[in-house]
């Protein structure tokens, strides 16, 4: 079989078996592709970080309403214009993205699992937890409920990382994670004085 | 390549009188297709220029110490950059590629030239409309225009016009293939490059159908007719948005084969393997939108896993196959020409000062090593949690569609200028190192973006000091260095593109005409592959010996690649395992 460049029409029967080295590489590449594929179901079984969540449609106004009720129920103070909310362990937690703030600010406990519900009132927003670097899309009309477990106490920020209009770069929220067993009232004193 | 000129002129071959036969390649260039190639390429360069001025402004804004643009203008220019680069520049150039790889490479005539021009002018009208609306500040929605963000209806209309024009041009590629076959302008199977372009064209049709499915309802919605669900929008938009990246990949790989042949006489090691790999791109294309939606609320894990992997990574397999066959073809071609010493004489002795070759090779390396590895890793369902909408995302695609596709397009332009425009390449000394400067700049830009993104720095963000936010956030100092890397790398890459535009415009409009049949003793501005076209066909005996000798150098390269891939991939799993538990 004559070798030709890619510019020349292939004449005669070019349907020939690949040579040894090509076959070797294709086999290895195929196996690697299977590994790449298998890792995802594997992580669902064994890994701790999956974006599955509890997903449903929701009316944006209804979600906002629920978030307000949640903030009222567990609010412990004001934090730069939004309520600081300390839900009990295991609670359903609501966080609403809207132009251009995250509502409310949250106080969570280290090592405790919560169900964090994310949604948007107006346009798409992006939930980006700093410095954990955990990122999720927040879409109006959809409730994204994820079971999360903070693994380290400290100050966190919620950066909006989906373009949501001219105020996008000022959309910054706060989550504070307190050490396990901290009393809610103790942490509520002087909320966020050192945060500005 | 005397084989391309058919022995028997087909019936009704009046067009042949006006056609010319290229003295270098032996290709028959009909007047219409040649003009269409020229005008589409020129339009591409014009929008490339707009896009690169925007790029410079963006890079100098993200460089936080410079922070050039006000937020409103940053978002406006970002919209401008995305559309002019990703849509207008790339697609105009692809239309040029289709007009070249179809009728020209098959030695056929251009079917329906009037319709082709209609398509071209529709594309121009659409692109101008979109640019005007953006500058008027009526479309600050970025190129994705996620509903319910809303632009002026003319914005969507402009995109629709552009898409209709592209649809016409793409359909004419199929028409040209039919005509060429019917009029027997070639014998055997179409050249591999044409086959690759065919897959690009098929993908383009699928893509444009997705485009219609999303832009028409959105256009109506912008006129207050009907509604568009935000999640459905994202899904179908990326059916368009990512499939179109697959057009770019198929077109780029075709150009790799084209430039390999022209610059160093690269051969197709196995036609069956390479054609299969192209076909795999087509088969799984509609799944492409998924990796944009991995952390979206609208879809479940089974859908995400199956689709993001393109049915078990078969499209990735295709790219890994080309990643072998393209360098192996170069190696085998060079060995056939006598560069047989050791594992790497073929590579050392390659024509590194030919921008057609260096651009092609750098595009291959950047796309494969940086683009491919980051892309597969970031597109993994769970790893996307530490990636989505951070700077890692533009860090990835600036080494695929920019360091890969745009660089390949620039490299092939150095050959199109003499072959199609019949001019010497101007500023030849500058052209020789333009690909290197561009590759260095874009690599620095992308690596800086990728590392900044791994600290959680968001993409599409006007000011990461959050000046008017209720809370403060200070990124670690290393991020300042990385943002400077974006500014500096971006500036270098932008300068390289400006050099390219100067060369292209200078050559095409003010360049010296050259008769390639008798270029004379002055070789300036004529790439070496055109001065002395390397052999494009080989005897059966030499071919058998070449297969026997194999491609030991390429084998080393691909195993280095695989090792880097595995390391990067599992490092990302490790990093993921350290964040909050989530499910
Ligand atoms: C000189 C070369 C280039 C430089 C310096 C450059 C630089 C940049 C920068 C700084 C951004 C903004 C990232 C952000 O803030 O989120 C960006 C975004 C982008 N670039 Fe480029 N770019 C170049 C070429 C290209 C080319 C050739 C293409 C496409 C073919 C392209 C496609 C895009 C896209 C699609 C975006 C994202 C826009 C968005 O997020 O809405 N770029 N580029
Ligand atoms: Cu937002
Ligand atoms: Cu935002």
Task: Kindly report the backbone phi and psi dihedral angles of residue A173, in degrees, each rounded to the nearest multiple of 5, phi listed first.
Answer: -115, 180
| A193: pLDDT strictly greater than 80 | no
pLDDT, residue B140, reads 97
Residue B526 CA from chain centroid, whole number: 24
Q: What is the rounded CA–CA span in Å between residue A137 and residue B388?
A: 8
Q: Answer whether B496's CB lies under 8 Å from B52's CB.
A: no
Residues of chain B scoring pLDDT < 70: 1-12, 285-286, 288, 310-312
- Residue closest via CA to ligand 1's atom 15 equals B460
| A195: pLDDT strictly greater than 80 | no
| A190: pLDDT strictly greater than 50 | no
Q: In the structure, how many helices (H) and strands (E) does chain B have?
A: 21, 3
Q: What is the rounded CA–CA span in Å between residue B550 and residue A33?
A: 25
**Domain architecture of chain B: domains with CATH:** 32-517+543-579 (1.20.210.10)
- Of B318, B321, B156, the C-alpha closest to A18 is B321
Between chains, do A8 and B537 touch, taking CB under 8 Å as contact? yes
SS3 state at B240: helix
Superfamily for domain range A54-178: Cupredoxins -  blue copper proteins (2.60.40.420)
Atom of ligand 1 nearest to the CA of B461: 15
Residue A109 CA from chain centroid, whole number: 18
- Residue closest via CA to ligand 1's atom 24 equals B402
Place of tokens 């978030």: A67
* Bridging pattern class, strands B28-29 and A125-130: unpaired
Rounded to the nearest angstrom, the minimum Cα separation between B444 and chain A is 23
Q: What is the number of alpha carbons within 13 Å of residue B300 lying toward its C-beta?
A: 3
pLDDT, residue B1, reads 39
* pTM, entire model: 0.95
SS3 state at A193: helix
Helix (H) or strand (E) holding B207: helix B192-222
SS3 state at B64: coil
pLDDT, residue B433, reads 95
Chain B residue whose CA is closest to A121: B148
Residue A155 CA from chain centroid, whole number: 17
Mutate to test the pocket of ligand 1, among B58, B67, B73 (most ligand atoms within 8 A of CB): B58
SS3 state at A54: strand
Confidence band of A188 (pLDDT split at 50, 70, 90)? very low
As given in the structure block, the two tokens for residue B2 are: 């005397």
A-B contacts (CB, under 8 Å): 357
- Of A123, A105, A150, A30, the C-alpha closest to B471 is A105
First to last CA, chain A: 74
Enumerate residues lining ligand 1, CB below 6 A.
B 52, 55, 58-59, 62, 78, 81-82, 85-86, 90, 142-143, 394, 398, 401-402, 406, 445, 459-460, 486, 490, 493-494, 497
* Bridging pattern class, strands A154-160 and A125-130: antiparallel
Q: What is the rounded CA–CA span in Å between residue B563 and residue B489?
A: 27
Q: Answer whether B455's CB lies under 8 Å from B553's CB.
A: no
Would you give the DSSP letter of residue B370?
I
Helix (H) or strand (E) holding A55: strand A54-57
Between chains, do B463 and A171 touch, taking CB under 8 Å as contact? no
Question: Bridge-partner residues for A178, per DSSP?
Answer: A109
Ligand closest in space to the Cα of B497: 1
Ligand closest in space to the Cα of A168: 3
pLDDT, residue A183, reads 64
Q: Answer whether A85's CB lies under 8 Å from A61's CB.
A: no
Ligand 1 center–CA B320 separation, angstroms: 25
Q: Answer whether B389's CB lies under 8 Å from A162's CB.
A: yes
Question: Bridge-partner residues for A55, per DSSP?
Answer: A144
Contact partners, residue B427, CB within 8 Å, separation at least 6: B499, B502, B503, B506
As given in the structure block, the two tokens for residue B125 are: 């009208």
**Set of chain B residues whose Cβ sits within 8 Å of the Cβ of A195:** 471-472
Of B142, B388, B540, the CB nearest to A2: B540
Q: What is the rounded CA–CA span in Å between residue B114 and residue B552?
A: 50
**Could you tell me the residue ranges of all domains in chain A?**
15-47, 54-178
pLDDT, residue B481, reads 98
pLDDT, residue B286, reads 62
As given in the structure block, the two tokens for residue B140 are: 């600050």
pLDDT, residue B252, reads 97
pLDDT, residue B574, reads 97
**Set of chain A residues whose Cβ sits within 8 Å of the Cβ of B298:** 55, 139, 142
First to last CA, chain B: 60
Cα torsion B527, B528, B531, B536: sign: negative
pLDDT tens column, A35-91: 999 999 999 999 999 999 999 999 999 999 999 999 999 999 999 999 999 999 999
Query: DSSP letters along A116-180, please?
Result: EEEEESSS-EEEEEETTTEEEEE-BTEEEEEEEE--S-EEEEEEE-S--STTGGG-EEEEEEEPT
Q: What is the rounded CA–CA span in Å between residue B100 and residue B29?
A: 9
Confidence band of A194 (pLDDT split at 50, 70, 90)? very low
Ligand 2 center–CA B490 separation, angstroms: 26
Buried b (16+ CB within 10 A) or exposed e, B293-329: bbbbbbbebeebbebbbbebbbbbbbbbbbbbbbbbb
- Residue closest via CA to ligand 1's atom 37 equals B82
Ligand 2 center–CA B54 separation, angstroms: 24
Query: DSSP letters along B51-65, please?
Result: HHHHHHHHHHHHSTT
Place of tokens 């995305």: B82
Confidence band of A192 (pLDDT split at 50, 70, 90)? very low
pLDDT tens column, A127-169: 999 999 999 999 999 999 999 999 999 999 999 999 999 999 9
Q: What is the rounded CA–CA span in Å between residue B545 and residue A3?
A: 11
- Of B428, B419, B423, the C-alpha closest to B499 is B428
């Amino acid at each position: 079989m004559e070798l030709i460049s890619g510019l020349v029409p292939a004449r005669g029967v070019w349907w020939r078996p690949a040579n040894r080295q090509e076959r070797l590489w294709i086999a290895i590449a195929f196996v690697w592709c299977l590994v790449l594929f298998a890792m995802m179901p594997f992580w669902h079984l064994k890994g701790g970080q999956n974006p599955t969540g509890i997903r449903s449609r929701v009316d944006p106004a209804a979600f906002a309403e629920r978030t307000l009720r949640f903030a009222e129920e567990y609010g412990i103070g004001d934090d730069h214009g939004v309520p600081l909310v300390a839900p009990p362990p295991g609670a359903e937690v609501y966080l609403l993205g809207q132009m251009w703030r995250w509502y409310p600010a949250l106080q969570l406990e280290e090592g405790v699992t919560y169900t964090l519900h994310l949604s948007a009132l107006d346009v798409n927003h992006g939930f980006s937890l700093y410095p954990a670097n955990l990122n999720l899309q927040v879409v109006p009309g959809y409730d994204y409920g994820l079971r999360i477990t903070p693994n380290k106490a400290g100050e966190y920020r919620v950066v909006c990382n989906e373009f949501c209009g001219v105020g996008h770069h000022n959309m910054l929220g706060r989550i504070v994670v307190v050490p396990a067993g901290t009393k809610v009232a103790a942490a509520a004193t002087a909320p966020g004085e050192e945060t500005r | 390549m005397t084989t391309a000129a058919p022995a028997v002129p087909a019936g009704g071959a009046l067009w042949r009188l006006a056609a010319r036969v290229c003295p270098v390649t032996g290709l028959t260039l009909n007047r219409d297709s040649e003009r269409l190639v020229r005008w589409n390429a020129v339009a591409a360069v014009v929008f490339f220029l707009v896009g690169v001025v925007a790029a410079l402004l963006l890079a100098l804004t993200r460089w936080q110490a410079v922070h050039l643009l006000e937020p409103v203008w940053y978002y406006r220019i970002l919209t401008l950059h995305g559309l002019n680069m990703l849509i207008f520049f790339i697609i105009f150039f692809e239309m040029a590629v289709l007009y070249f790889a179809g009728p020209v490479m098959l030695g056929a005539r251009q079917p329906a030239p009037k319709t082709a021009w209609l398509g071209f002018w529709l594309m121009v009208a659409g692109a101008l409309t979109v640019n005007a609306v953006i500058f008027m500040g009526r479309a600050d929605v970025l190129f994705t225009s996620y509903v319910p963000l809303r632009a002026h209806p003319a914005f969507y209309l402009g995109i629709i016009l552009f898409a209709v024009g592209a649809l016409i041009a793409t359909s004419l590629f199929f028409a040209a293939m039919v005509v060429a076959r019917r009029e027997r302008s070639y014998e055997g199977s179409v050249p591999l490059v044409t086959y690759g372009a065919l897959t690009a064209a098929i993908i383009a049709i699928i893509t444009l159908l997705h485009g219609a499915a999303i832009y028409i309802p959105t256009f109506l919605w912008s006129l207050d007719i009907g509604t568009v669900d935000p999640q459905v929008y994202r899904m179908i938009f990326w059916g368009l948005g990512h499939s179109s990246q697959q057009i770019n990949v198929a077109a780029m790989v075709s150009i790799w084969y084209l430039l390999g042949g022209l610059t160093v006489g690269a051969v197709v090691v196995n036609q069956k393997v390479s054609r299969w790999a192209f076909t795999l791109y087509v088969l799984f294309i509609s799944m492409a939108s998924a990796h944009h939606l991995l952390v979206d609320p609208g879809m479940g894990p089974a859908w995400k896993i199956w689709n993001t992997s393109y049915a078990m990574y078969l499209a990735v397999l295709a790219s890994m196959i080309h990643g072998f066959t393209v360098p192996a073809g170069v190696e085998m071609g060079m060995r056939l020409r006598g560069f047989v010493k050791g594992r790497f004489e073929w590579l050392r002795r390659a024509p590194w000062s030919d921008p057609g070759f260096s651009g092609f090779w750098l595009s291959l390396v950047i796309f494969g090593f940086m683009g491919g590895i980051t892309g597969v890793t970031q597109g993994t369902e769970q790893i996307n949690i530490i990636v989505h909408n951070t700077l890692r995302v533009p860090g990835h695609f600036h080494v695929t569609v920019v360091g890969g596709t745009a660089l390949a397009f620039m490299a092939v332009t150095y050959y199109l200028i003499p072959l199609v425009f019949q001019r010497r390449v101007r500023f030849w000394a500058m052209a020789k190192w333009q690909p290197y400067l561009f590759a260095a700049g874009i690599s620095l830009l992308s690596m800086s973006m990728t590392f900044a993104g791994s600290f959680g720095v968001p993409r599409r963000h006007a000011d990461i000091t959050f000046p008017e936010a209720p809370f403060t956030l200070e990124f670690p100092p290393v991020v300042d260095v990385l943002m400077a890397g974006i500014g500096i790398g971006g500036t270098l890459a932008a300068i390289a593109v400006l050099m390219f535009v100067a060369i292209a415009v200078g050559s095409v409009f003010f360049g010296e005409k050259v008769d390639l049949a008798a270029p004379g003793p002055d070789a300036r501005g004529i790439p070496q592959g055109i001065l002395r076209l390397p052999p494009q066909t080989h005897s059966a005996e030499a071919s058998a010996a070449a297969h026997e000798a194999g491609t030991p150098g390429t084998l080393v390269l691909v195993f280095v690649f695989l090792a880097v891939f595995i390391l990067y991939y599992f490092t990302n799993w490790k990093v993921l395992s350290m964040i909050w538990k989530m499910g």
